[in-house]
Amino acid sequence: MRAFLAIEIPESIRSALTALSARLRAADVRASWVKPENIHLTLRFLGDIETDDAERLGEMLAADLQGIGPFPVRVRGTGAFPNPRRPSVVWVGMEPFEGPLAQVQSAAEQAARAIGLDPESKAFHPHLTLARIRDGRAAGPLVRLLIQEHEFDAGEFIVEGATLFSSQLNPKGAIYRRIREFLFT
């Protein structure tokens, strides 16, 4: 199965992100916009893994995440990967990365390595993907809107757990299915 570990976003934050996406879409740049119900914070993309590996990973995470209680995060700021001059991904940031969020992401990385996956090649930058740009060279109007929205603040929410998802790709977008939830107590 194609899988990833993520933090789900509450409806109040999702509504603010939907409004931001609508404002950014006004740039009329060719992009694939993430459906509001699919916006999440990916802690670790796992790729194609076997069901047995997903179960092993789940057991490790259940043990490693014990003792982490619910914690606040703020959804704030906009940006683009690899950079605003030639964007391929439009995102909204999440902070702070220090503390519990860093612990959860580290546990996800360690569990992924324990089931035989290669270490993540890029440093973790907590963000919510809003869109994938098809031609970064033609994204000037969108970049200007992103700069205008750099102080975007959707507010704070309490992270109460993480979820292991499977992802099935189809022409109308990805379909996510919850495999296992890890509640922070």
pLDDT tens for 145-162 read 999 999 999 999 999 999
- Among 20, 105, 107, 127, the active-site one is 127
Place 21 in a pLDDT band, splitting at 50, 70 and 90.
very high
What is the rounded CA–CA span in Å between residue 162 and residue 32? 25
Contact indicator for 4, 46 with CB cutoff of 8 Å:
yes
The per-residue pLDDT for 137 is: 82
- Of 8, 20, 40, 129, the catalytic one is 40
| pLDDT, tens digit (0-9, with 9 covering 90-100), for 105-151 | 999 999 999 999 999 999 999 999 999 998 888 899 999 999 999 99
Which residue stretches of 43-128 are H helix?
51-64, 100-114
Provide the sign of the torsion angle of the four alpha carbons 48, 108, 170, 86, taken in this order.
negative
Catalytic residue list contains 127:
yes
- 40 annotated active-site: yes
| Residues facing 177 on adjacent strands | 166
DSSP for residue 138 = G
What per-residue confidence (pLDDT) applies to 169?
Answer: 87
What is the phi/psi pair of residue 153, to 5°? Answer: -140, 110
Cα distance between residue 40 and residue 14, in whole Å: 9
Mapped onto helix, strand or coil, the DSSP state of residue 159 is strand
Cα 7 from Cα 126, distance rounded (Å): 10
In this structure, are residues 58 and 26 in contact, taking their beta carbons and an 8 Å threshold? no
Q: d(Cα 87, Cα 162) in Å, to the nearest integer?
A: 28
β-partners of residue 44 are 5
